[in-house]
Structure 1
Amino acid sequence: MNLSTALEHAAAKQGGKVAYHFLDQTATYEELNMAVHRFASGLKALGIEQGDHLALITGNSPQFIISLYGALRAGATVIPINPLYSPEEISYIVQNADAKAVILLDILVPLANKIDQTLPFVEHYIVCEMNEERTKEKQPEEFSIYKKMKTFSKVMDIGLQPFHPPAVSEDDTAVILYTSGTTGKPKGAMLSHKNLYSNARDIGSYLQFSEKDRIITVLPMFHVFCLSVCLNAPLISGATMIIFPKFSPKEIFAQAKQHQATVFAGVPTMYNFLYQSGEGHSEDFASLRLCISGGSSMPVALLENFEKKFNVKISEGYGLSEASPVTTFNPLDRPRKAGSIGCSIMNVENKIVNEMGEELPAGEVGELVVRGPNVMKGYYKHPEDTSAAIKDGWLYTGDLARRDEEGYFYIVDRKKDLIIVGGYNVYPREVEEVLYNHPDVVEAAVLGVPDPNYGEAVLAFVVPKNKELNKENLMDYCRRRLADYKLPQQIEFLEELPKNTTGKILRRALKKQVLQN
């Protein structure tokens, strides 16, 4: 079984069931499966063979789903890419991934035309026509890549002929997900059909997804969190997706109420925006049975405030691209523990180890390592990095964590973000938790900066709720709650914190800003 065959089974079982809502569009499972089959056939007609690589650069849309599942059905490997990346970032990934075709938004055609000379392997650009007026503004003939261009609808049209999908092994690479590149150029994590299917199946089972669920799909589909939790798991569970092209608190509240959504998944920043917006009410989320948080650690103060305001429970989980991605979630059949990422999901093992790889007892902080059918094959064209990340079958996450006696895990911080002040360990998250608890703080981020006396010092960036908050009052607040060596030596007020497109706060951007100053 793989994702493509799972979709076929769902279509055979409940073909008339709604698979997704998107703006004013609706498609049943039978219609979605037929579209996927036609697109796979169209790719074959273009000369896309089993094992070829396709870059997918679109936003949240039916075209993303049809392209992804169509390519997988054709036996190709998909490389999802953030459409907001710079030309240099997109060029690097497409080139490094040896992509033979690129599926892209119409608005990105000028960019593709600009970087095409750096992409020797690309033979086809499949353009998703998202805006007819914009398409008319420039005639395709103006672009040097015109002869390589096909519209998405054209590929669908030529896919009407009979098509017999190739046999796909569970160990074949289905998707290559490029990491964010926090330590240099991004690396492509190779995820097999087995990796993706097993994680989607186990997520759905652990969170009790069913055909009765209506899942808000607003996280970016190119990101592994959405890909597995809000797309793959719902589809193989027979659920309905409520797809949003972009995040808007007003639209989330309205659509959740209209479609009686049962599951919402988001990153902590989204929860913060929903909480701070002042637009929503508890009745808008009355139909929700489950809220899911991931992508980064959620401050406990935000979790508790959100739950109180909207009368819902948030299940925080943990994952990473290299693990397809989910390894833990707070269970639904036992108490949720605030601040915890939960327990190991089925078929996945998590443990805490020291520098020698030895498992640590409950309560001690070490590196979180993971083993299971969800762990990647390795990094594309990076065997040395693969060997460093996977040792004896265990994936080393780079995250510092601890486990309690009941098997609940807690992320302490990223190993590389650890701040050492005069020989004492300071975990940014514990300082951030204190800051988030202040009623006049909207967001906070903490990092370490060089200090001539203590090696490193704690620097805090804060987004205040109002101008009445000053540094002196905030420092006094911290002094009553933190040891002296954990105190921020400096606090900077900002209007907003830099984030990536999934809403994750970018500490490295803040650090770069500090170094430049």
Structure 2
Amino acid sequence: MTMLSLAAVLAEAARRYPERVAIVDHAERISYRDLWAQSRAYAAGLRELGVGAGDTVAVLVPNVADFPRAYYGALAVGARIVPVHLLLTPQEMAYVLRDSGTDLLVAHSSQLENALAAARIAGTRVASVGPMPPGIPDAPPRLEEVAASVAPLPTYVSREAEDVAVIFYTSGTTGEPKGALLTHLNLVMNATVNVFDANEVRADDVVMGCLPLFHTFGQTVGMNGTFRLGGTLVLLARFTGEAAIDLMVREHVTVFHGVPTMYIGLLEAAAKADKLPELRICVSGGASLPVAVLERFSAVFGSTVFEGYGLSETSPTATTNQPAFGTRAGTIGHPIWGVEVEIARAEVDERIELLPTGELGEIVIRGHNVFAGYLNRPEATAEAMVDGWFRSGDLGTKDADGFITIVDRKKDLVIRGGFNVYPREVEEALARHPSVVQVAVIGVPDPVLGEEICAVVVPDPGGLTEQELIDWSREKLGKHKYPRQIRFVEALPMGPSFKVLKRELRRTFGQ
């Protein structure tokens, strides 16, 4: 039996680098020693509220210091964590609380209204953290006050390496969200490999923490990775390009993790900024970064962008562009240390049939990062895990140098007049138009061709017409690929993890 707890990530950092600044949250600068002491105090408070080893604690906290305190506090008491998206409605939140069997919801005071409404529906107990606004009827117990009334835990409760540490709820692009079970081993290994093998990070790195900590990318690569290294995490609760640039300059940030919409936001803000941060490492994930955006960002900020790939079910990182192998724009690089990523025949469901180099198929993943299955969903687990491989649902290729390229989601493929059209290829072409800020391509029903290509575009203000963009794209794309329909919008619908919600676009424009 191997014992391992994700809580060790913070506990060991506090032991090795007690005086180093772990977290910058506005004016607050918290050392590793203090952050671990505060987390152990929260752990004792949780125990006082009836939470023990193997129980489930949901965490509804924005990017403030209370997130790591509550997160590592729950881990220290031996509980498993359900991070809750801040953008969910009370009904959606109640579904997550019920489905996960949450014993206690820890909610930041800024989220209390939704938390209490969700808890009433789900029949779940609530504790609050953060400054309590006055006049809340039936205010729940404050975790800080409960923690202050008892002695902190001396150390964390040990767990088995294969015990579940975190349950991530997938976005639910198909049906209801499912709880992906991530073990202590999954998450310790992913944080470790991200910082020590994938990138050339340094102990004095200052990392921008603007990705939501409730999301797997911000949590594992951002927070846990930084703490594993002993670096400093600078928190930003609400991302805008301007706020991020100001904060990065002020705190001398050297590492930026973001999703494509954040890179686009930083580029827009850079045009108006007096000074830009000196970034050594930039990591992009969560969705495909258009090559045009990557090139513009590298030129403006003078920094290499390492694009990676992963899913909630893979802890999340599966592949990334890495200095050891060189970078190649438009690819997701190579598998991380200890993980295998191959291309399998997409149309064969019941077994994994690996394809030769260069052929298009489904990306499949095997290694220490692959989850322990979906909570209470054996059929969904059996569909996703075949012959020891996790089926990603993404289509891609692997070239002779081992670089992997994502072509598209299996379910986003558009079949126009019998021809397969991959929206990502069309999006990459349109993203190069100087007046296109952001674009998403979908298939819409067509009585003759079955599906037609529709580009939903956020344009620069300045009078781009639909016909101009159609004519421009016609020169860049094959006859069966260029969009015949353009729809201009002010913003694309985003999910909690900043992915474009194509199902919403299909609902709006596919009628």
Q: Do they superpose with TM above 0.5? A: yes
The residue aligned with 2:318 is 327
Contact 1:250 1:279 in 2 (8 A): no
- The 3 A distance-change label for structure 1 pair 364 and 480 is same
Give secondary structure in 1 for the equivalent of 2:342: strand
The residue aligned with 1:443 is 438
- The 3 A distance-change label for structure 1 pair 161 and 233 is closer
Equivalent AA in structure 1 for residue 179 of structure 2: G
Displacement after TM superposition at 1:497 (Å): 1.2
The residue aligned with 2:393 is 398
Pairing partner for 1:266 from 258, 263, 267: 258
Which digits, 9 at most, give the CA deviation of each residue in 1:127-173, with x for residues without a partner? 1224x5xx11x24xx23xx4xx2113113213425556432101111
Distance 1:483 1:320 in 2: 31
The residue aligned with 1:50 is 53
Equivalent AA in structure 1 for residue 216 of structure 2: V
The residue aligned with 1:127 is 128
The residue aligned with 1:175 is 166
Taking the TM superposition and a 5 Å limit, the aligned residue runs for 1:343-354 are 343-354=334-345
Distance 2:169 2:324 in 1: 35
Give secondary structure in 1 for the equivalent of 2:149: helix
Contact 2:42 2:69 in 1 (8 A): yes
Which digits, 9 at most, give the CA deviation of each residue in 1:173-221, with x for residues without a partner? 1000000011011000000100100100110112133321110000000
Equivalent AA in structure 2 for residue 98 of structure 1: G
Distance 1:299 1:496 in 2: 17
**Ranges of 4+ aligned residues in structure 1 off by more than 4 Å:** 161-164, 278-283
The residue aligned with 1:228 is 220
Pairing partner for 2:472 from 460, 477, 499: 477
Contact 1:282 1:310 in 2 (8 A): no
Pairing partner for 1:411 from 396, 406, 419: 406
Distance 2:238 2:247 in 1: 13
- The 3 A distance-change label for structure 1 pair 115 and 304 is closer
Displacement after TM superposition at 1:283 (Å): 5.0
Equivalent AA in structure 2 for residue 314 of structure 1: V
Pairing partner for 1:312 from 282, 285, 303: 303
Taking the TM superposition and a 5 Å limit, the aligned residue runs for 1:184-263 are 184-205=175-196, 206-263=198-255
Displacement after TM superposition at 1:26 (Å): 0.6
How many residues in Structure 1 have an aligned counterpart in Structure 2?
Answer: 503
Contact 1:35 1:66 in 2 (8 A): yes
Which digits, 9 at most, give the CA deviation of each residue in 1:298-335, with x for residues without a partner? 00111101111111110000010000000011011343
Pairing partner for 1:434 from 424, 429, 438: 429
Displacement after TM superposition at 1:46 (Å): 1.6
Pairing partner for 2:284 from 293, 315, 339: 293
Equivalent AA in structure 1 for residue 158 of structure 2: A
Contact 2:45 2:144 in 1 (8 A): no
Displacement after TM superposition at 1:289 (Å): 1.0
Question: Does residue 491 of the first structure (1) align with residue 494 of the second (2)?
Answer: no
Distance 1:69 1:109 in 2: 21
Displacement after TM superposition at 1:500 (Å): 2.1
Percent of aligned pairs with the same residue?
Answer: 37
The residue aligned with 2:506 is 511
The residue aligned with 1:371 is 366
Distance 1:161 1:327 in 2: 37
Query: TM-score when scaled to structure 2?
Result: 0.95
Contact 1:209 1:239 in 2 (8 A): no
- The 3 A distance-change label for structure 1 pair 109 and 258 is closer
Distance 2:201 2:155 in 1: 31
Distance 1:276 1:164 in 2: 46
Contact 2:181 2:372 in 1 (8 A): yes
Displacement after TM superposition at 1:12 (Å): 1.2
Give secondary structure in 2 for the equivalent of 1:312: coil
The residue aligned with 1:32 is 35
Displacement after TM superposition at 1:418 (Å): 0.3
Superposition CA RMSD, Å: 1.6
Contact 1:282 1:309 in 2 (8 A): no
Give secondary structure in 2 for the equivalent of 1:19: strand
Distance 2:21 2:270 in 1: 32
Unpaired runs of 5+ residues, structure 2, are none
Displacement after TM superposition at 1:105 (Å): 2.0
The residue aligned with 2:93 is 90
Distance 1:47 1:82 in 2: 24
Give secondary structure in 1 for the equivalent of 2:476: coil
Taking the TM superposition and a 5 Å limit, the aligned residue runs for 1:104-183 are 104-120=107-123, 122=124, 124-130=125-131, 132=132, 135-136=133-134, 138-139=135-136, 142-143=137-138, 146=139, 149-161=140-152, 163=154, 165-183=156-174
Displacement after TM superposition at 1:401 (Å): 0.6
